[in-house]
A and B are shown apart, each in its own frame.
Chain A
């Protein structure tokens, strides 16, 4: 009877999760209506600095081991925040570019298509990078090089600019987004 109760509980939990996810999916248009509320600034250089192996090596050689581990953990925690932030931005950009993909202008549609793919790629990289960064926090000496995230993010932001220019050539990026 206990096992039956557990299975029923699991089923009800699954139903609740499903309904919550469905409701959240249905209300994602909120981000399109007011994107500025959701989009956050991400300093790519600061992120690069946080995950730079040379910087890590410099800290390792110049700090006592205990201090290095403490600082390295802090640096990686900050890096996780940066990646999460970039991934959240990417999700918003997916929604925006999704709408732009339906543009009647083929150039805009193509730029939007590229932006969607890059934003998705960034979220995929983030999905892999965040556990690695956490692993780095547990083992502060281990090597982490999520350079591909930085590259992908740069590529994505370039495409945002391009999409902006294509959408509203006279107004620049701000008007497009």
Chain B
């Protein structure tokens, strides 16, 4: 059983980062780094961070404070870059719709402030418990950041749905993957803070599995070219046009 857990742990740690390397190649190959520079930077840094941490882990399985400090620092940088990625996705969404640019930005800022206040309030009133100050701070930051990111990504989808905007394939995939990961991370960081243990295996496995799913979603969307160009008005079926005529006549009545 222990060996099975170990194998699962290594798989969930290594596999997403191998897939991230594939994503990095796809980004460069499809020249998406011009469209998503933050996502490109985030992917590259995640791989670099994994490389350094994995090397430390292999060289000394009974890792000390150095590993934890590096892990916390890496997580902080990753979290900051993920905000950049979300902003990038939101920017992509609004870029095609000038009428919504100003209102969209105001809405995005408003939601960010609201979520930040909620996150700070949750951290203040529900501090959690942990023996290790660094890991306590890391998990608290994790919970606040995931709450913010989850809320922001939800708002991206809500805006997109309300205004019937077409979120292009790649941006859609990035948002979906990140949103899935952020919501699971919010749950697991809350459990870790509630339990007061940083080494609890189950929540960590869940987070790692969610990240794996997130990377799989990214790879699925980035591997295929965007479909938007195939949807044109000329493809509308002929037999619907008479019904449309009646609808428009009603619509244009005064």
Chain A interface (Cβ < 8 Å from any Cβ of B): 1, 3-4, 7-8, 10-12, 14-15, 17-19, 21-22, 24-26, 28-29, 32-36, 39-45, 89-92, 94-96, 98-100, 102-103, 112, 116-121, 123-124, 127, 157, 160-161, 164, 167, 173-177
**A3 engages B126 (CB within 8 Å):** yes
Residues of A within 8 A of B176 (CB): 18, 22
**Which one of A25, A103, A121 lies within 8 Å of B233 (CB-CB)?**
A103
- Most A CB contacts (10 A, CB to CB) among B151, B180, B247, B254 go to B247
Total contacting residues, chain B, CB less than 8 A:
59
**Majority SS at the chain A contact face:** helix
Cβ-Cβ contact count across A and B, 8 Å cutoff:
166
User: What would be 25 A-B contacts, judged by CB atoms less than 8 Å apart?
Assistant: A1-B194, A4-B194, A14-B183, A15-B180, A15-B184, A18-B180, A19-B180, A21-B157, A21-B158, A35-B244, A36-B244, A36-B246, A39-B244, A43-B253, A94-B165, A99-B235, A100-B233, A103-B234, A116-B97, A116-B99, A157-B251, A157-B252, A174-B248, A176-B233, A177-B244
B60 close to A (CB within 8 Å): no
The interface of chain B, by Cβ under 8 A from chain A, is 97-100, 103, 122, 126, 143, 146, 150-151, 153-154, 157-158, 160-167, 172, 176, 179-180, 183-184, 186-187, 190-191, 193-195, 228-229, 231-237, 240-248, 250-254
- Would you call B161 and A25 a contact (CB within 8 A)? yes
